[in-house]
Amino acid sequence: MRAEHAGYACGAALGFLGDLVAGDPRRGHPVAAFGRAAAAVERRLWRDDRGRGALHTALCAGGTAAGAALLTRAVRRSPAASVALTAAATWSVLGGTSLGREARAVGGALAVGDLDVARERLPHLCGRDPQALDGQQMARAVVESVAENTSDAVVGALVWGAVAGVPGLLAFRAVNTLDAMVGHKSPRYHRFGWASARLDDVAGFPGARLTAALAVLAGPDRRGAWRAWRQDGPSHPSPNAGPVEAAFAGALGVRLGGTLAYGGRVEHRPVMNGAAGRPVAVPDIERAVTLSRRVSALALAATVAGRCAVGAVRRARTAGRAK
């Protein structure tokens, strides 16, 4: 294995372990700092205009990628520094441990019947109106959020890290954060957030498919996960949430989707695994978190192996042309 790829593999594994052990810090998280900077840029640029929104996206995401590329270049002669940079970047963009922690917090409150606490914690996971949900609906919302964020907060970042190293890791997180900030369909961001939303769809496409595939591989019901992914995933309005939620629904034997409420706006989404699934119950939250952890670990192994394999093929081709 070439030193460059071995360094990335080591750094990615260390960063993944760091997230697994420590999770996100309560203060001073790099993603939060990026969010504040993006909000400051938005205050200067905002107009109800797609062009202004595209400029905002280019400055924030492009600036992040460029800065990461400069950092990578600065440490390229030091293997130890390169590993440390990759580890720090990987840890900063992954959110698997915090995702599981928040899901379990809501699940714990639901398990003891404390709906008030569950409603208080649910916004940490998703943007739905918790006051409009009963206990079963909140459990379903948690499982859906675990499924979607396994792709957004873990697998997608690892895919782009394997493709483009530290710039790929940080740029993916920047794009995903921008989508969460301005990509939703509200009157303020319907035009301004269009570019961020579309770029997030493109960036999330490979990670969502890998997440769905690994959910099939790692889930307790492989046939059910495959069937739900193929049959129900394409009907979801989101090109990336659909495959992931459908695969998780089939793997866990539950029904996801249906009527949702976001900020006073009601949406009626297709049901995932409706023919074979049952309503989500509180114990399914822990099952979803366990599946998410398995998928995340497999994604780390797959992306690191993929990066090393591509590097080996390139070296073999270069050596063949040199003969």
Rounded Cα distance between 249 and 130, Å, is: 21
Reported as a single tens digit per residue, the pLDDT across 251-300 is: 999 999 987 766 566 777 899 998 899 999 999 999 999 999 999 999 99
> Could you tell me which of 166, 163, 244, 241 has the C-alpha nearest to residue 201?
241
Residue 2's pLDDT is 61
pTM: 0.93
Residue 258's pLDDT is 85
Residue 24's pLDDT is 82
Residue 209's pLDDT is 98
The region, left, alpha or beta by phi > 0 then psi within -120 to 50, assigned to residue 253 is left
- Extract the residue ranges of the chain whose pLDDT is less than 50: none
Residue 67's pLDDT is 97
Question: Domain residue spans in the chain?
Answer: 3-322
Contact 107, 141 (CB under 8 A): no
Angstrom distances, CA of residue 32 to CA of 14, 153, 227: 22, 14, 38
Reported as a single tens digit per residue, the pLDDT across 113-144 is: 999 999 999 998 987 888 888 999 999 999 99
